[in-house]
Homo-oligomer: A and B are copies of this chain.
């Protein structure tokens, strides 16, 4: 285990368990160097992660303090941060999929641009409805270059696409770029998501990247408005 991650996890637990309370001052970095038998840089690295989580505040020339916030809220945020796929946003529910179609097509100009591939390359064209506890939550359109995700079958789509990619293909997903917008559901979406005409939907447009920098997925996820929320912490 990396030292700075150990210190990060340890301090996080100490804070969440109430050893340090809201608004309280933490021991100085120098003291913690002794306690954890490490150097200043390593403590700093661990603490910077806690700042990103929104747990603590650092003030140069003064010290480090627990953020003045309800710890239960923070726990939720930290939990939510760990996941990338939309599958996982309802962790305790049973997630299933229904494949509407699964074809190979030539990339349209938009798909070409988003995936940065040659004109008219072949891509998977996937259209799925995803259910949580048998209730429709999201309709997804996904496009992926066939050569980056070989061997894909309808069976994989009924479970988790990301699981196939990470476990069976052993590809590493490094990042994704997401844009969230809002509009009215079209007729198909209204039917698939069991909505009323004119009901709102949240649309997440996403391009996801492997750790070699290649874009492997371009997707639109159309969410039922009553089952969508996105949380983010913005740090200056």
Contacts and interface: CB of A to CB of B under 8 A. Distances in A.
Given A173-B236, A200-B183, A231 B68 contact: no
A234 to B, nearest CB: 5
In terms of DSSP, what is the predominant structure of the interface of chain A? strand
B182 A212 contact: no
B174 A229 contact: no
Contact of A181 (B23, B57, B229): B229
Given A65-B212, A116-B68, A57 B174 contact: yes
Contacts of A174: 57, 235-236
Contacts of A215: 68-69
B233 A177 contact: yes
Number of copies: 2
Contact of A211 (B57, B179, B230): B57
Interface in A74-125: 77, 84, 113, 116
Interface string A174-198: 1111111111100000000000001
Contacts of A173: 236
Contacts of A198: 198-199
Nearest to A178: B232
A143 interface: no
Interface in A141-177: 172-177
Contacts of A35: none
Interface of A: 22-23, 41, 54, 56-57, 59, 65-70, 73, 77, 84, 113, 116, 172-184, 198-202, 207, 209, 211-215, 223, 225-226, 228-236
23 contacts: A57-B212, A59-B211, A67-B209, A69-B116, A69-B209, A73-B177, A172-B236, A175-B234, A175-B236, A177-B232, A177-B234, A178-B232, A178-B234, A179-B229, A179-B230, A181-B225, A182-B201, A183-B225, A184-B199, A200-B200, A200-B201, A230-B232, A232-B232
